[in-house]
Structures are given as structure tokens and as C-alpha cells.
């Protein structure tokens, strides 16, 4: 791995830290990335499917998932995990991510104070898996002009001043996040910025140490020299010294260990980080600075002398032609005032030259010469997919099949009565539609739900009937008032014939027909009716189209199947309303002799 991040790098963000995510997306916009760096968010306690964030002056939706496994499945190209879990949870989150094969290349852990035993276990597991862990206790890393983690670099204004919006020439490795930002500013003033930077974290046991990152930077052609900011405590700087001596690192290295003031204290002193404490003479900042200087590393006389050394090394490399002039890229400005949108639309767009259905101009599906029908329009607007011809023709068959069932059914009756009261087509249609539910039209949803459940759980027909009896629910989609085995419903026969000739497979229908054999053995009108056939074949259609079982169950629960009945039956309801208007029928009053009156005198309460 020569480069830690590129402009195509995407991350899964664990914990919905909105401010940190927004800073990443603002950075993406400023540097002109084509795709957001945050592909998904893991928010275990959220019931939302997405969250909105600004993308410049506009907004985008970032999907939310309950688990890292689920997010990784949906976003296989997101190879960075940004673990913003608390120190109580961060270990488990990281270990779960490491168990996902071939997913994550880099994991950043921001939490401080993970127990050292767990930190060592986590870091070793990552090394065994070939995964680079940044942290714990870190603000992250950045590849200027490509990708940045969360809050590293600070505000957009500070990022631009520190030349972090585009790649420079230095590779920077520090422990401290605060000093990382300060050094970026120093490098921008005295050189041309950094090409890659990592704050490895302040805890005593971190995943990737100085040498890991510097050996990678040695291979990165954009990095021309390296800057290491170590600190009192630990011995990781000596690994860098050995790499320089052995020739593993050949690029110029500038280094300084902070904490030289510790020698003025009579006893050991603990600085800010958990690892910033010397337990032996060679762990002191003074000893490490001396050893680095003896190895040929550029070591300033003090931290205040660091800018001068950076400028000298940079100037030398520039004069030698190792570092070239950098062309400043265009910077996209973030609007000062941004307003969140109140509505979201993902199915159609009326901006531009022509309105579109799921990205397709209306003219491309509307007229007969396009070869498209109403089934194609439904597949675009309801499912945001282009269905194959057999599927769109099945949808159209369903709509035609349920368009009407005569004037006596509750919906048509309501629509006719309302029309005769002088109401408009819209008002009359609505009164008909309001009768659609569990007792009228809802059997399509129910049939899909219960037959799918039984089939998914490998129930025999007898077990399915016993289950429904125990639930106290009549089997939706089974039974007809008039039709029977001897007098079959030709609508059902037509649907079954279409499926047999056009569907790739009909496993749920095949199962339902075995259930029908059992129910009709009890009574011959307990047949699979038209509602049941439609609901069951819809599940078979979606399975054949490649939908996940969770998506199909969501369609069922959201009432999508019922929507086909609503759409089709609206055609019939409107027909009945127009029929009443055309016939100029008078106000309807129900005949009294068709009403059972059972009215007793009210009891008087004293």
C-alpha cells in the first residue's frame, strides 16, 4: 500500500457524529471530489434509513445501518472504517469489523482509554489481518486533496491556510492531534504543505506506529521527505533510527521529540498522553533526539527551531529538482448560508429541459413508439428500477384483472352513492378508496405475508393450516363465495397461465397450490382466489428480479401490494362515478324495508 487514501476512498462511519461527518463532506466539496467520502453510517440505535447532510449548498442523503456487517454488505468498496464508538464499545466494533473478510483496509479508532490488554489484542488482530489501525486516541489522518478523516485539520478556513486542500511534498507523522494541526500550518508557511499525514494516537498501545507509516511514505512517490514529531516515553522512534541506518528509509527525515523539559523535574512526569511518560533514560525526549541526530536525521535545536529546518530541507530538495512547483487547484467555496430541504424526492425530477421518471425522460416511456407501457412507468416510479418486459406485462395484467368487480362491492357502492349526492369525481373516488383495507382488497397483502412466512419456514400445508388456526386468522387468499374447483375463476387461471409461460420460476405459487389441494379436500370452494394468486405471484416476481428477502418483506409491510389493487380498482370506481354522472341519477336513499330496525326506548338515568 503506497498511499493511505485516494480521491476514490470511501468510509463507513461508526456512530452518527454529525459535525465530524459534515466536516468530511465539506472537505470533499471544497476539493472537488465526485463522490462523498462517507458512504454509510452505522447507527445501531437509530430507526432512520438515512440522514441528510450538506454538499456545498445542496444536500445529500447518507444511508444508515444497524450494524457494520450490514453496511459493509451494501457498500463493498468502502474500505475504511471510522470507529467513533466510546472506549467501552470501540474494541468490540473494531473486532467485528476485522472479522468481515476482504472489506476494511484501514480502521481509525478515536476513543481514548481502551484497556491496554484489549488494545494489544485488537492491534495484533489487525496486523494479522493486514489492516492498518490508526489510533486509539487519535484525530485520524489526511491525504490532502483526496480524503480526510473527521475533524483532522480543523475548520475549512484552517485547512486552506495550512494547504491541506491539495497535496504538498512532506509526509507527516505525529502522536498528538493538536500538534499535528499546528505542524501542518508550520509546514505550509515554510514549505509547500504535506502529501500525507497521520496522527497515530496518544495511547500507550496504538495500532500503527511511526515506522509503519514512514515505511509506507517511503514508497509513496508524492512524499519527498518526512517529518516525525515524537514525544517523551516509549521507544518507537528507535525503530525509525534503525530504518534510516539500514537504508530502509532513504528520503530525508526531520524529527523532534517533545518533552525535553522533563529533565528539569526531579521525578518522572506524565504529560498529556497515556504514552507520554519516560520509564527509562532512553525513553526521554533528550536521549531520543540525540540518537536521531547521530543517525543523520535532521534534528532541530528546539521545537522553535523546527520551522527553520523544514524550510532548509524543503529548499534544498526544491533546488535539486526533487520537489516541483505545485499548481494551485480550484477551491469550491462553501456557501455561508445553507438551508435544509423540507421534502425529499427520489423518483422524479421536474428540473431541466424535461421532467424525468427515475432518471428517464417522460418522452422515452410515454408514447406507443417507445414500446413502453404503464407497467414500465410503475417500475420506474414505484421501484426505481427498469423491469424486464415479462415483469411489466405481469404488473399490467394485475391492474387489468382488479380494475372492477361490479357495482355491489363496498368501494363501488360508496363511489356511486357519493356521485349521486352531486359530489365531484375526486370526492366520489375517495369515498370508494376509503373502503379498501383488511376486509376489501387487503387479502393481497395478507396472502403474500402469510404464504411467504410459511414457505420461508418450511411448513407443510398441514402445519401452515394449523399455524393459521392457532393465530385465529382465516387464510388470506383462500376461498371464494361462488367459484370452486368445479367452477374455476378464469382470472386466476389466466394469471397462473401467464406465470407458467413467462416467470423464471414460481416456488411460492407452487407451494400455495399444494396448500390449495389440502383446503379443497375439506371444501371445494376453498380455492386459491385472485387476491391470493396476485400476492403470491408478486413475491415470486420480486424474487426472480433479484430482490433481497428483507426488501420483499418491506414491500409487503408498506402496503405496496395493496397499492396495485388501489391503482387498478380506481379505474373501476371512476367508471362507476362517470356512469352515475352520465345517467344523471338522483340522490340515493336506501330502502327502509332493507333495514332491520331494533330500536328500544332509552333507559332513563335518575
Go through the domains of the chain in sequence order and give each one's CATH number.
Answer: 11-319 (3.40.50.261), 410-583 (1.10.230.10)
d(CA 440, CA 583): 27
Q: Helical H runs in 336-421?
A: 363-366, 374-383, 389-401, 410-420
pLDDT(373) > 50 = yes
Q: For residue range 121-165, what is the model confidence (pLDDT) as tens digits?
A: 999 999 999 999 999 999 999 999 999 999 999 999 999 999 999
Find, among 144, 299, 131, the residue nearest to 223 by Cα.
Answer: 144
d(CA 207, CA 2): 18
Find, among 487, 606, 457, 475, the residue nearest to 535 by Cα.
Answer: 475
Q: For residue range 159-214, what is the model confidence (pLDDT) as tens digits?
A: 999 999 999 999 999 998 889 999 999 999 999 999 999 999 989 899 999 999 99
Any residues with CB less than 8 A from the CB of 339 and at least 6 apart, and which? none
d(CA 186, CA 254): 13
d(CA 533, CA 483): 14
Treating both helix axes as pointing N-terminal to C-terminal, what angle do 389-401 and 530-544 enclose, rounded to 10 degrees? 160
Q: For residue range 500-522, what is the model confidence (pLDDT) as tens digits?
A: 999 999 999 999 999 999 999 99
Phi and psi torsions of 192, nearest 5°: -115, 20
Phi and psi torsions of 212, nearest 5°: -60, -45
165, 273, 298, 576: the catalytic one is 273
**Cell numbers 495550512 correspond to what residue?**
162
Instruction: Specify whether 273 is catalytic.
Output: yes
Q: For residue range 254-292, what is the model confidence (pLDDT) as tens digits?
A: 999 998 765 545 555 544 544 444 457 889 999 999 999
d(CA 198, CA 300): 21
The residues that bridge with 34 in the sheet, in sequence order, are none
d(CA 408, CA 410): 6
pLDDT(293) > 90 = yes
Count of other CB atoms within 10 angstroms of residue 528: 26
| Burial (CB count <10 Å: 0-12, 13-18, 19+), residue 151 | middle
* Per-residue DSSP letter, 280: S
Grid cell, residue 374, equals 404503464
Q: For residue range 376-394, what is the model confidence (pLDDT) as tens digits?
A: 999 999 999 999 999 999 9
Grid cell, residue 96, equals 467485528
Phi and psi torsions of 567, nearest 5°: -65, -50
Task: Output 120 or 272, whichever has higher pLDDT.
Answer: 120
The helix/strand count (H/E) of the chain reads as 22, 16
d(CA 323, CA 170): 10
Count of other CB atoms within 10 angstroms of residue 419: 26
Distances (CA, A) of 521 to 450, 484, 524: 20, 11, 7
d(CA 525, CA 484): 4
Amino acid at each position: 500500500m503506497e498511499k493511505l487514501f485516494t480521491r476514490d476512498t470511501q468510509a463507513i462511519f461508526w456512530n452518527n457524529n454529525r459535525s465530524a461527518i459534515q466536516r468530511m463532506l465539506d472537505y470533499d466539496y471544497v476539493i472537488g471530489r465526485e463522490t462523498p467520502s462517507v458512504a454509510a453510517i452505522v447507527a445501531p440505535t437509530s430507526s432512520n434509513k438515512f440522514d441528510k447532510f450538506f454538499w456545498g449548498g445542496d444536500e445529500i442523503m447518507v444511508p444508515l445501518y444497524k450494524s457494520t456487517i450490514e453496511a459493509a454488505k451494501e457498500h463493498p468498496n468502502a474500505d475504511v472504517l471510522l470507529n467513533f464508538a466510546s472506549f467501552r464499545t470501540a474494541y468490540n466494533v473494531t473486532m467485528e469489523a476485522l472479522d468481515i473478510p476482504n472489506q476494511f483496509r484501514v480502521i481509525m479508532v478515536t476513543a481514548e482509554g481502551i484497556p491496554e490488554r484489549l488494545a494489544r489484542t485488537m492491534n495484533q488482530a489487525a496486523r494479522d489481518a493486514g489492516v492498518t489501525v490508526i489510533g486509539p486516541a487519535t484525530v485520524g489522518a489526511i491525504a490532502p486533496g483526496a480524503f480526510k478523516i473527521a475533524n483532522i485539520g480543523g475548520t475549512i478556513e484552517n485547512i486552506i491556510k495550512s494547504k491541506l486542500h491539495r497535496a504538498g511534498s512532506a509526509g507527516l507523522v505525529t502522536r498528538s492531534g493538536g500538534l499535528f494541526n499546528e505542524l501542518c500550518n508550520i509546514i505550509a508557511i515554510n514549505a509547500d504543505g504535506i502529501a500525507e499525514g497521520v496522527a497515530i494516537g496518544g495511547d500507550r498501545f496504538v495500532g500503527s506506529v511511526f515506522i509503519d507509516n514512514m515505511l509506507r511514505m517511503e514508497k509513496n512517490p508524492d512524499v519527498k521527505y518526512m517529518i516525525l514529531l515524537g514525544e517523551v516515553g516509549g521507544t518507537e522512534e528507535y525503530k525509525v533510527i534503525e530504518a534510516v541506518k539500514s537504508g530502509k528509509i532513504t528520503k530525508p527525515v526531520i524529527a523532534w521529540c517533545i518533552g525535553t523539559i522533563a529533565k528539569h523535574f526531579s521525578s518522572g512526569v506524565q504529560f498529556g498522553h497515556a504514552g507520554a511518560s519516560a520509564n527509562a533514560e532512553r525513553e526521554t525526549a533528550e536521549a531520543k533526539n540525540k540518537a536521531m541526530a547521530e543517525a543523520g536525521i535532521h534534528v532541530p535545536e528546539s521545537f522553535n527551531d523546527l520551522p527553520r529546518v523544514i524550510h532548509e530541507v524543503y529548499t534544498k530538495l526544491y533546488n535539486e529538482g526533487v520537489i516541483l512547483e505545485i499548481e494551485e487547484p480550484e477551491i469550491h467555496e462553501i456557501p455561508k448560508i445553507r438551508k435544509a430541504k423540507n421534502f425529499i424526492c427520489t423518483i422524479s425530477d421536474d428540473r431541466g429541459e424535461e421532467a424525468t421518471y427515475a432518471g428517464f425522460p417522460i418522452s422515452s416511456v410515454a408514447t406507443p413508439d417507445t414500446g413502453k407501457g404503464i407497467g414500465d412507468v410503475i417500475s420506474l416510479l414505484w421501484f426505481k428500477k427498469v423491469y424486464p418486459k415479462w415483469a411489466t406485462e405481469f404488473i399490467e395484467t394485475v391492474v387489468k384483472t382488479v380494475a372492477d368487480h361490479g357495482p355491489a362491492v363496498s368501494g363501488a357502492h360508496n363511489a356511486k352513492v357519493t356521485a349521486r349526492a352531486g359530489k365531484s369525481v375526486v370526492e366520489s373516488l375517495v369515498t370508494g378508496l376509503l373502503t379498501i383495507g383488511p376486509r376489501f382488497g387487503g387479502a393481497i397483502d395478507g396472502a403474500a405475508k402469510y404464504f411467504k412466512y410459511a414457505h420461508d419456514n418450511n411448513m407443510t400445508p398441514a402445519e401452515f393450516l394449523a399455524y393459521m388456526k392457532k393465530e385465529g386468522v382465516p387464510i388470506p387468499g383462500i376461498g371464494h363465495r361462488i367459484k370452486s374447483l368445479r367452477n374455476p375463476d378464469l382470472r386466476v387461471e389466466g394469471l397462473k397461465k401467464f406465470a407458467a409461460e413467462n416467470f423464471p420460476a414460481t416456488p411460492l405459487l407452487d407451494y400455495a397450490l399444494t396448500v390449495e389441494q389440502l383446503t379443497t379436500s375439506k371444501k371445494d370452494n376453498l380455492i386459491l382466489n385472485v387476491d391470493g394468486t396476485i400476492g403470491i405471484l408478486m413475491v415470486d416476481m420480486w424474487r426472480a428480479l433479484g430482490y433481497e428477502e428483507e426488501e420483499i418483506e418491506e414491500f409487503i409491510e408498506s402496503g405496496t401490494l395493496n397499492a396495485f389493487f388501489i391503482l387498478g380498482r380506481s379505474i373501476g370506481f371512476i367508471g362507476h362515478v362517470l356512469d352515475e354522472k352520465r345517467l344523471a341519477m338522483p340522490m340515493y336513499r336506501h330502502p327502509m324495508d332493507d333495514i332491520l330496525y331494533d330500536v328500544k326506548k332509552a333507559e332513563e338515568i335518575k
